[in-house]
Amino acid sequence: MAKYKLFYPPDPASAAFSTIGGNVAECSGGITGLKYGVTRDYILSLEVVLADGSVIHTGRKTLKSVTGYDLTRLFVGSEGTLGVFTQITVKLLPLPEKIETLLVFFATPQDAVRTASQIISNNLLPRALEFIDKSSIDCIKGYKQEIQIPAEVHAILLIDIDGREASVKTETSLVEKIAMENKPLRVIIAKTPKERDTLWEVRRVISPALYNMAPFKINEDICVPRSRILEALHRIAEIHKRYPALKVANFGHIGDGNIHVNIMHEEGEQQKMMAEKMIEEILRTTVELGGTISGEHGIGNVKSAFLSLEIPPQELRIMKDIKHLLDPKGILNPGKMFV
């Protein structure tokens, strides 16, 4: 849409190969979620084929409508369990004039988390605010030698600021000032689009680089209230002490409180079982902290057993009743979402 100076903000890392139907079914989000929200914020209307073969149209093509219940929101994120989307109308936004990127190295995760928190409490809303922990940094260094990260760096923030040229300039210097007040080891601001791309390479390579640690990965995407991110990281580290045979790397959308906790393990049933046990502890802790067990990846088959950790019985009953009403024979994605 760039040629019309418009853009569709939700940007899951899977954008190059995922479909818009899958994005709507999973209510996907991405690095721009802090400023622009997730898929549900951009879906105006849906054509849905129901389990009995009938076709309905939810929502309106207008930007506002409060007529009746919001069925569009019900279907977005329903993981293919309520109907099949055959037409999707999305909302687009004006393309930002300018994007600036900053990469900030810190000696401690505390400095990085404090910086992120101060950026937001100063009423700045970056397009992206990403956190990378020490384990992820070590993997990046082992994976791509040309990415130079000094040994004393224990946490990284990657920040994008977008908007009109003049406001981006002002906001970038404010973000830089906040970072400088939090003992950074280094602040790098990209001067050209190519340099921006190079800075983002640090974030892009994390997922493949994690396989330097171990051959198997379980990627959780917990989300906690922003004020509890540091506590969540601390609690994950405490849980990890009980599973020393496993490796853990945390990175993700710190601006949303959405941390990708990656548990890396070796081959074998025992390692896999240990990883699953550790995940259960992490999910329980997340709920205790007032968070959610999935910020963007959804429940699917893998996490259906944990749904009741977060959703109280009465809400769960309502969800199951809706499923039964729309799909009484249970033919749409059986086994997904509910055990």
Ligand X SMILES: Cc1cc2nc3c(=O)[nH]c(=O)nc-3n(C[C@H](O)[C@H](O)[C@H](O)COP(=O)(O)OP(=O)(O)OC[C@H]3O[C@@H](n4cnc5c(N)ncnc54)[C@H](O)[C@@H]3O)c2cc1C
Please measure the distance between the N-terminal and C-terminal CA atoms of the chain and give it in whole angstroms: 40
Shortest separation between residue 300's beta carbon and ligand X, angstroms: 7
- When the beta carbons of 108 and 207 are compared against ligand X, the nearer one is 207
Shortest separation between residue 228's beta carbon and ligand X, angstroms: 21
Long-range contacts of residues 299-304, Cβ cutoff 8 Å, at least 24 apart: 299/79, 299/336, 299/337, 300/79, 300/336, 300/337, 301/335, 301/336, 304/335, 304/336, 304/337, 304/338, 304/339
- CB-based contact 26:79 (threshold 8 Å): yes
Shortest separation between residue 190's beta carbon and ligand X, angstroms: 22
- When the beta carbons of 265 and 336 are compared against ligand X, the nearer one is 336
Burial environment of residue 198 by CB neighbours within 10 A (0 to 12, 13 to 18, 19 or more): middle
- When the beta carbons of 14 and 89 are compared against ligand X, the nearer one is 14
Instruction: Say how far apart CA 123 and CA 230 lie, in whole Å.
Output: 20
- When the beta carbons of 50 and 185 are compared against ligand X, the nearer one is 50
Count of Cβ atoms closer than 10 Å to residue 111 Cβ? 21
Shortest separation between residue 176's beta carbon and ligand X, angstroms: 27
Tell me the CA distances in angstroms from 139 to 31, 159, 207, 243, one per residue in order: 21, 21, 9, 20
Shortest separation between residue 64's beta carbon and ligand X, angstroms: 25
Q: DSSP string of 9-60?
A: ----TTTTT--HHHHHHHT---TTHHHH--GGGGEEEEEEE-TTS-EEEEE-
- CB-based contact 146:106 (threshold 8 Å): no
- When the beta carbons of 172 and 262 are compared against ligand X, the nearer one is 262
Which residues lie near ligand X (CB under 6 A)? Answer: 12-14, 18-19, 21-23, 25-26, 28-30, 79-80, 84-85, 296-297, 333, 336
- When the beta carbons of 30 and 163 are compared against ligand X, the nearer one is 30
Residue nearest to ligand X (CB): 22
SS3 79: coil
Shortest separation between residue 57's beta carbon and ligand X, angstroms: 14
Q: Return the CA Rg of the chain.
A: 21
- When the beta carbons of 105 and 306 are compared against ligand X, the nearer one is 306
Shortest separation between residue 12's beta carbon and ligand X, angstroms: 3
